[in-house]
Chains A and B, each alone.
Chain A
């Protein structure tokens, strides 16, 4: 079992176990302190971004942008800004920490009543999302603090060694 597939299992466990108990909490100081496999983490161990003064983004932020646009954009709009039928994540992520984020993404959210019918499906078994859940969080975290603007990050650090292979392995596809 590689790191990424283990991550999916952890995410699902979190979604089931923590989905109800978890209270939304602000994600805290995004300062990166440690890096492993292209993903930076903050003092609490939550994934975070590292964007240098010239706008060069870390690998996690870049991949997060791509994979956000793959699955999340169709509802949450370009650059996380929301659409006519799903909330603005740039704003929402200010109040959601990493464990709550995983619980929401893996477990889904429903708001169906007389005033609205908003449903976010469970992505717990969607490898396109769960294989890159850290990266998507990092990207949205950077968008929510204002560290990252709109559009495709044009400058980024080099891909960490073996990233493509481990991604494809997690996705279960051979290229």
Chain B
């Protein structure tokens, strides 16, 4: 009772306090760098981390090699920085020259830190956002990072406003409102700057928001093109004749034909993940999320183009090819995970590949120029909803997953509890990016080894209210652990080595020319691992659980490794409660220790380096 009263009292105080903090705040001191480089120049230097995924290919592979497999065990904490925010910290900082830029979860404060001067705060910017946006953000108020270009820092705020800040002063250059949070459309992803454009998407799959990707002008923020995931061809920017899917033109109304009536209008397919770009092909790559609702019976059809890999012409936005991985999603396996562009040698031939570790537990290898399917393998052996993808080009089901009805919610109607499905809705891997090391030719993937029961039922749609329609209960996968960090070959499907963790591995990976791979764990460990053997070289417990992505940079001749701590996000939902196994029988319930026994909330950046100057 006391607790309840306190909360209500705080609410009243909060309303008053809100009146005094209104107005965006930018506090700037003199920057030390006099001129700012272009993005292409900044990204060309391995000392910088100028693009959220380090490079357009999203490999998160750094050519820096000062820290290597022989000396990584000597790593020490060089400096730390508290973000002042307690919510889940996904994403990664940027480093351009002598300045580091980072953004916090809501209220989305952006900091510029002077690496030349004891990380003094050069400027900080906190936007004014209506707190009503907080509850329409599914799964915590995360932000996956800012982008850089043309001397500007680009922020996609929670309330779906995109802001360009002067990278020297933090002053607002332009703002563009994309969609209203009042219908549940929010901003969480890291934008991608390419030349004179900035690419942004939208979150809101659990609110029925029709997803889109937009290209904004870097000069003034106006919308150059906007391409939806679902609807008529002119909204999706599909050309019925030239947009290909598995080698065939998509034809007219390829999305509309796969929805009942106008359900596509509230059909999800949001675009809150990562974007990649191939400068040679001038193609932009990303995936769309789950169709809304989570009750599949309520939305018959393939629900195109949710759960789809898109390859779009950067100049026009028109799709060159599309591939739907999970038609008629029955599990919430959003297709938004990163698209890693890697040139792989397959059967003795060099292939311009796109590699994607999907939430559905399958690792896809496609030809990124044509969208042709090359290989699909499970990257967690527990995946049971499918026996694999039909790889026979002459089959009517070519490219579709063979679905196991027993593990397909809705196959026996609503109000049925479908048990023991692997992976769980949060996917065999969620947004936490994998990394590709061209030296070993392997992909390093942080994964969730979690299964679920899924019980769908009818729901009503109300704008701005959750539109879900299923009860899920999640539990650790076979073996009783929830985290698997794997070194994986997506062409052969072979797992070269793996490290198990009690909780999901929800931090993004970094590979380096030093032969060391880095990632963070939910208990808060920053880990350095030998890329070849999987041997743990260094294991340091940061103040809070890690759901951020490890990055590296070089400053004054010294290599640094940095990661944001701050437990939360989807993983934070189970933080307090822990997960139970509904099938373990009475007495075993609660047997899995809760994450809260290991870590607590707190946003902090921890930066590591080798000892000595």
The CA of A26 and the CA of B589, in the complex, are separated in Å by 28
Contact across chains for A78 and B17 when beta carbons are under 8 A apart? no
Tell whether A83 pairs with B573 under 8 Å between CB atoms, given A66-B455, A109-B11, A128-B460.
Answer: yes
Are B135 and A75 neighbours in the complex by a CB distance under 8 Å?
A: yes
A84 with B88, Cβ < 8 A, contacts A109-B11, A112-B131 known? yes
**Is the CB of B480 closer than 8 A to any CB of chain A?**
no
Query: Is there a chain B Cβ closer than 8 Å to A92's Cβ?
Result: yes
- Give the residues from 4 to 18 in chain B that come closer than 8 angstroms, CB to CB, to chain A: 4-5, 7-8, 10-11, 13-15, 17-18
Interface locus among A28-36, A37-45, A149-157: A149-157
* Contact string against A for B residues 543-577, beta-carbon threshold 8 Å, 1 for contact and 0 otherwise: 00000000000000000000000011000111111
Q: B580 within 8 Å of A by Cβ?
A: yes
* Chain A 107-147 interface mask (CB, 8 Å, partner B; 1/0): 00111111011111101011111010000000000000000
Q: Does A119 lie within 8 Å of B135, measured CB to CB?
A: yes
Chain A residues contacting B86 (CB-CB under 8 Å) are 84, 116
Interface string of B14-32 (1 = CB under 8 A from A): 1101100100000000000
When each residue 66-82 of chain B gets 1 if its CB lies under 8 Å from chain A and 0 otherwise, what string results? 00000000000000000
B4 & A95 in contact (Cβ 8 Å cutoff): yes
Question: By the criterion CB–CB under 8 Å, are A88 and B135 in contact?
Answer: no
> A18 within 8 Å of B by Cβ?
no
* Count, chain A residues at interface, CB 8 A: 56
- Given the known interface contacts A73-B573, A84-B88, A120-B135, the answer about A113 and B13 at a Cβ–Cβ threshold of 8 Å is yes
Chain B residue nearest to A84 in the complex (CB): B572
Query: Does chain A have a CB within 8 A of B114?
Result: no
Cross-chain contact B10 with A113 (CB below 8 angstroms): yes
- Tell whether, in the assembled complex, residue A74 and residue B10 are in contact, meaning their CB atoms are under 8 Å apart: no
Distance, CA A96 to CA B333, complexed state (A): 37
Structural contact, A152 and B473, CB atoms closer than 8 A: yes
Contact call A83/B10, Cβ cutoff below 8 A: no
A82 touches B577 (CB 8 A): yes
| Nearest chain B residue, comparing its CB with the CB of A85 | B140
Cβ contacts under 8 Å, A123 to chain B: 465
- For B14, give its contact among A69, A113, A131 (CB under 8 Å): A113
* Cβ A152 vs Cβ B453 within 8 A: yes
CB distance from A167 to the nearest CB of B (A): 8
The dominant DSSP class at the B interface is: loop
Residues A77 and B573 in contact, CB atoms below 8 Å apart: yes
Is B131 touching A95 in the complex (CB atoms < 8 A)? no
Instruction: Please determine whether A83 and B15 come into contact, CB atoms closer than 8 angstroms.
Output: no
- Number of residue pairs spanning A and B whose beta carbons lie under 8 angstroms apart: 177
Output the least CB separation between B466 and chain A (Å): 5
Minimal Cβ-Cβ distance residue in B for A63: B457
Query: Would you list which residues of chain B between 501 and 540 have a CB under 8 Å from chain A?
Result: none
Asked if B10 and A111 make an inter-chain contact with CB atoms under 8 angstroms apart, the answer reads: yes
Alpha-carbon distance A150/B468, docked complex (angstroms)? 21
Say whether A24 faces chain B, with CB atoms less than 8 Å apart. yes
Q: By the criterion CB–CB under 8 Å, are A87 and B466 in contact?
A: no
Contact A121 B473 (CB under 8 A): no
- For window 394-449 of chain B, which residues contact chain A by CB distance below 8 Å? 414-415, 417
B459 at the interface (CB under 8 A from A): yes
CB distance from A157 to the nearest CB of B (A): 15
Please tell me if the beta carbons of B3 and A152 are within 8 angstroms of each other in the complex: no
With contact pairs A94-B1, A113-B10, A121-B132 given, residues A85 and B568 touching in the complex (Cβ less than 8 Å): yes
Q: 1/0 per position for B447-472, CB-CB distance to A under 8 A?
A: 00000010101111010111111111
Complex Cα distance, B27 from A77, in Å, reads: 37
Chain B hits for A1, CB < 8 A: none
A83: chain B residues within 8 A (beta carbon)? 572-577
Question: Cα distance A91–B417 when bound, in Å?
Answer: 28
Residues from chain A with a CB closer than 8 A to the CB of B577 are: 77-79, 81-83, 150
Give Cα A62–Cα B462 distance, bound, in whole angstroms. 24
Q: Are B601 and A113 within 8 A (Cβ)?
A: no
Given contacts A88-B576, A112-B15, contact A128 B134 (CB under 8 A): no
Q: What's the minimum C-beta distance from A113 to chain B, rounded to whole angstroms?
A: 4
Closest to A71 in B: B466
Candidate in A24, A26, A65, A92 with the most chain B CB atoms within 10 angstroms: A24
Chain B 342-377, CB within 8 Å of chain A: the 1/0 string?
000000000000000000000000000000000000
13 cross-chain CB contacts under 8 A: A24-B4, A70-B457, A73-B471, A78-B574, A85-B572, A109-B11, A112-B15, A118-B134, A121-B132, A126-B462, A128-B466, A151-B473, A171-B460
List residues of chain B with CB under 8 Å of any chain A CB: 1-5, 7-8, 10-11, 13-15, 17-18, 21, 86-88, 106-107, 131-132, 134-136, 138-141, 206, 297-298, 414-415, 417, 453, 455, 457-460, 462, 464-474, 567-568, 572-577, 579-580, 582, 589-590, 601
Minimum-distance CB pairs A-B, first 8: A95-B1, A84-B572, A81-B577, A69-B471, A126-B465, A112-B14, A127-B460, A171-B460
